[in-house]
A = this chain, B = another copy of it.
Amino acid sequence: MTDRSPLAPAAFPALPEIAGVTRRIARAHYKNWDRCDLTYVELTPGTVVAGVTTQNVCCSTEVEMCREGIAHGRARALIVNAGNSNAFTGYRGREAVEQIVDQVAAHLACDPREVFVCSTGVIGVPLPKDKAHAGVAKVISFDTPSASWEETAQTITTTDTFPKGAAASAVVGGTTVQVAGIVKGSGMIAPDMATMLGYIFTDAAVAPDLLQAMLSEATAGSFNAITVDSDTSTSDTVLLFATGRAGNPVLTTRDDPGADALYAAIRSVALDLAQLVVRDGEGASKFIEITVTGAVSDASAKRVALSIANSPLVKTAIAGEDANWGRVVMAVGKAGEPADRDRLAIRFGDHWVAKDGLPVDGYDEGPVAAHLKGQDIRVGADLGLGDGRATVWTCDLTHGYISINADYRS
């Protein structure tokens, strides 16, 4: 692990235990390193699962198999391999995943579709079957002690500079339910060794369709509203497991009492985890929140916001603490969405620098420059056309990103 990101929180948060969730970790030695790199999470029988996966059409075998499991809707175990993404490895890679699934399903005497496997790391090298077999044998053994949330969050990392977790709770039908999540990722896909993998666990009892709807909705404003470098991993996966052990009446629709509270808790955890990924963005020195208002629709606002967030020139300007609003104008204009140059307004922090297509009269750069010297930067663009709005998060583009990604040999 390289130096801890300057944007990292002070410490790993206290996460609650989730009834029905057991974690164990081991050293599979997928790479030539001495750290735990294999994670096993056992889920109580009856656990419901929802998931979202990468849109990259060259996705890994793991992603394809996770999709089959998500469609099945039930889960008994999660395995995460760190150090080898097993992507683009053809039939040999698929055999390795099937071997893990068979080994775990035999141990739990469960349907193979209920075993979820994710891998992250180097592309194009088949996951070594012997190392996987020995590692899995360790983690499914009761001789291996259970791992803390922080140890588990650490074990799924690759190039991350800190482990990432978040929690929230909700009251559902008079019962308090817990939501805890962990995530790894620091570039969309990075020194052959990153990708975003996120896992959220709750003891709430929720029907599969509702759980999936909640995850999909929460993802749109969290995991799908962040970008580090505009590159989309072949392995990105977020899974949400509901063990049902809290004992609340099973939620089946959003109108059920407590469903909104549970959704708010899931969304809070998803947003915290997504922002932690940005705070560990490769080379990041600034955390950037971009809000677009006044667009013709929310979807249009999000596309404009991502155009700003992905612009190398905007990201380098913020790295340079330069109130270069002209680059924001450029990024709005290239998004391919409705915009009117002469209605556009741009702000940094709470300070408007341009309105109605012109620099504001009496513009004072002082407070803007002060805002840009901070670590948490806010950029706003109002298009002046309608009520559409969206917020996305990104980090700046620095020499650190180039060093991590170019000054490296595979």
Q: Which residues 171-221 of A have a CB within 8 angstroms of B? A: 187-190, 192
Q: Are A320 and B357 in contact (CB under 8 A)?
A: no
- In the complex, how many angstroms separate the beta carbon of A85 from the nearest chain B beta carbon? 8
Is A131 part of the binding interface, using a Cβ–Cβ cutoff of 8 Å? no
Number of interface residues of A (CB under 8 A): 70
- In the complex, how many angstroms separate the beta carbon of A385 from the nearest chain B beta carbon? 11
How far is it, in angstroms, between the C-alpha of A340 and the C-alpha of B57 when the chains are bound? 7
Is A316 part of the binding interface, using a Cβ–Cβ cutoff of 8 Å? yes
- Residues of the B chain whose Cβ atoms lie less than 8 Å from the Cβ of A234: 329-330, 333
Q: Are B405 and A334 in contact (CB under 8 A)?
A: no
Is A398 part of the binding interface, using a Cβ–Cβ cutoff of 8 Å? yes
- Residues of the B chain whose Cβ atoms lie less than 8 Å from the Cβ of A323: 410
Q: Are B88 and A326 in contact (CB under 8 A)?
A: yes
- Residues of the B chain whose Cβ atoms lie less than 8 Å from the Cβ of A358: 88-90, 92
Within 8 Å by CB of A399, from B56, B92, B339, B399, lies B399
Given contacts A189-B313, A402-B397, contact A408 B320 (CB under 8 A): yes
Given contacts A90-B358, A320-B408, A402-B402, contact A326 B56 (CB under 8 A): no
- Residues of the B chain whose Cβ atoms lie less than 8 Å from the Cβ of A22: none
Is A123 part of the binding interface, using a Cβ–Cβ cutoff of 8 Å? yes
- Residues of the B chain whose Cβ atoms lie less than 8 Å from the Cβ of A41: none
Residue interface mask A139-150, B partner, CB < 8 A = 1? 000000000000
Q: Which residues 345-379 of A have a CB within 8 angstroms of B? A: 354, 356-359
Q: Are B316 and A406 in contact (CB under 8 A)?
A: yes
Listed stretches A225-233, A244-252, A266-274, A288-296; interface member = A225-233
Q: Are B354 and A316 in contact (CB under 8 A)?
A: no
Q: Are B55 and A88 in contact (CB under 8 A)?
A: no
Q: Are A313 and B88 in contact (CB under 8 A)?
A: no
Is A325 part of the binding interface, using a Cβ–Cβ cutoff of 8 Å? yes
How far is it, in angstroms, between the C-alpha of A74 and the C-alpha of B397 when the chains are bound? 44
Is A34 part of the binding interface, using a Cβ–Cβ cutoff of 8 Å? no
Q: Are B326 and A231 in contact (CB under 8 A)?
A: no
Is A387 part of the binding interface, using a Cβ–Cβ cutoff of 8 Å? no
Q: Which residues 47-100 of A have a CB within 8 angstroms of B? A: 55-59, 87-90, 92
Is A392 part of the binding interface, using a Cβ–Cβ cutoff of 8 Å? no
Q: Are A333 and B59 in contact (CB under 8 A)?
A: yes
Q: Are A329 and B88 in contact (CB under 8 A)?
A: yes
Residue of B nearest to A342 (CB): B90
Q: Which residues 119-159 of A have a CB within 8 angstroms of B? A: 122-124
- In the complex, how many angstroms separate the beta carbon of A258 from the nearest chain B beta carbon? 38
Is A407 part of the binding interface, using a Cβ–Cβ cutoff of 8 Å? yes
How far is it, in angstroms, between the C-alpha of A312 and the C-alpha of B89 when the chains are bound? 23
Q: Are B408 and A322 in contact (CB under 8 A)?
A: yes
Q: Which residues 286-344 of A have a CB within 8 angstroms of B? A: 310-313, 316-317, 319-327, 329-334, 336, 338-342, 344
Given contacts A87-B326, A88-B326, A322-B410, contact A331 B231 (CB under 8 A): yes
Q: Are A58 and B339 in contact (CB under 8 A)?
A: yes
Given contacts A234-B330, A234-B333, A339-B58, contact A320 B356 (CB under 8 A): no
Counting from the closest, the 10 A-B pairs by CB-CB distance are A123-B326, A58-B333, A316-B405, A56-B333, A320-B406, A232-B334, A316-B406, A319-B406, A90-B358, A58-B341
